[in-house]
Each structure stands twice: as structure tokens, then as C-alpha cells.
Amino acid sequence: MKSLLFAALFAGVVLAQTPRRVAPSKPAAHPDISGLWQSLGSPDVDLRDHVAQAGPYTPLGALGATPAGVTIIDGGLIPYLPAAAQKQKENYANRLKLDPAIKCYMPGIPRAHYMPFPFQIVQSDDVILFAYEFATANRVVNMKNHKEAPVDSWMGWSNGHWEGQTLVVDVTGLNGMSWLDRAGNFASETAHIVERFTPQGPNHLLYEATITDPAVYSLPWKISLPLYRRMEKNAQLLEFKCVEYAEENLYGDLKRK
């Protein structure tokens, strides 16, 4: 009788000491990439390798100079067709007048992601919103209700889907008026861009964009760069409504007349 009582007490102690098993929570189907992001480096100066050089306004001295940078292009070169290569050179020679960003036009895709301004991602199941600080540009990525672009626009038309942990965005409907950088690299209104946003950790994304445009390039080509989550206290998207800063550039001749 004593042995049976002891066995029962021992079993109760063992059961009391055994941790209760909790069913693991179901992992999220897709990563949450919501947040404030920004690139580093100077790809907006030129997507290709570029050296440091003096800026156009000498009174600014070193503060107005252009920093050096390493290319973010896979292979380092843009495969321009001959006529497009000539146009890029003309763009570069006249960049202080022709760069659409100088006029505060929306930066287009993919340039919006590597300008020296942050952007914010707000994620839901149906749509993903991208809000850019420069020129208050924005776009919506349709995750379910995929449609063709109703009209060409500066930021294009974006349909998205997930491939595992990677957000893939198919961009069409660009108006061909934006540049890819300050050096006059460009695409046309027939460009088709496929973007990929892949988490590399909680605070890093790998951004890739493959650009196809038979009217400008002999082959598709690709850029890739890391994006970093803004982590400082009170990090937020601020306003840069730049139209008033561009008035002299846009209307200076008319004002002087």
C-alpha cells in the first residue's frame, strides 16, 4: 500500500515539473517590410562608377562637389543602343537644365529608391503603399487586384506578388520622362521594370531592379543595392515639397522678360 502511494506521489511530482507544451504560433506568411527606408552611397549621381568632381556652383566649394561612387549595375555597364548612348551623352552635357528632378518632377522607378531621401512602406494584404519624401511622390502596389496601367505616369503602374520572402513588383506604364540618375541615364515609355525587395535581416532589404526596354537597350540589365531601415529616435517621413525651389529654373526666363 505504501509503495502504491509513493508511486502516485512520485508521478505527480514528475508531472508538476514537466513544462506544459504550447503549440507554436503559426509564422507569418510573408515578412513585414513596413517602415522607413533609405539607401547609402551616391548612385543618384551616376549608376556607373564615377569619380569625385567639382560642382557647378563654385561659391559652395567642397560642399557643392560631387562625391565618388561605385556602380550598382551588375556588370558595371548599361547596354545602350547606339542612338540611346548618344542621347545619354547629350543629357549629361545639359543635365543642369534637363534633369527632371531639378524641376521637382516625380523621380520615377527605380530612381526613387536611391535618391538621398527616405521613403516609407506601409504594408497590407491587398496593397502596399510606397510614400517618397522627394516631391511627395507615392505609388500603390496592387497585391491582388492586378490590372494593366490605365495611363502612363511618372511612377508607373505596379502589380506585386510574393515569392517566398521576396516582394516582387512588376512596373509598367512609365511615361519615359524621368531619368535614372543625374548623369542622364534614362529609359523610355516602353520600359518594363521588375523589382525585388528581399529582407536580409530585421533592418536591411536587398533591392534589385531588372530593366527591359528594347527601344533603348540591347539587353535587359540589373541594379542591386541595400536599403537600410532608419532607426534614429522619431524617424519619420518629412515634407519636401520642392516646387517652389524650382520656380527660378522653370520660369526664370519668363520672369526676366
- 54-112 tens-digit pLDDT: 987 778 899 989 999 999 999 999 999 999 999 999 999 999 999 999 999 999 999 99
Helix (H) or strand (E) holding 5: helix 2-17
Is the pLDDT assigned to residue 130 strictly greater than 80? yes
Mean pLDDT of 199-222: 98
Of 110, 152, 165, which is closest to residue 132 (Cα–Cα)? 110
Task: Express the helix, strand and coil content of the chain in percent, nearest 5 each.
Answer: 25, 30, 45
Residue 4 CB partners (closer than 8 Å, separation 6+): none
State which amino acid sits at residue 209: A
Which amino acid type is present at position 51?
A: V
- Mean pLDDT throughout 28-33? 88
Cα 44 from Cα 66, distance rounded (Å) = 11
pLDDT at 233: 94
Distance in angstroms (rounded) separating the CA atoms of residues 176 and 91? 14
59-97 as b/e, with b when 16 or more CB fall inside 10 Å?
eeeeeeebeebebbbeeeebebeeebeebbeebbeebee
pLDDT at residue 237 above 50? yes
175: pLDDT strictly greater than 50: yes
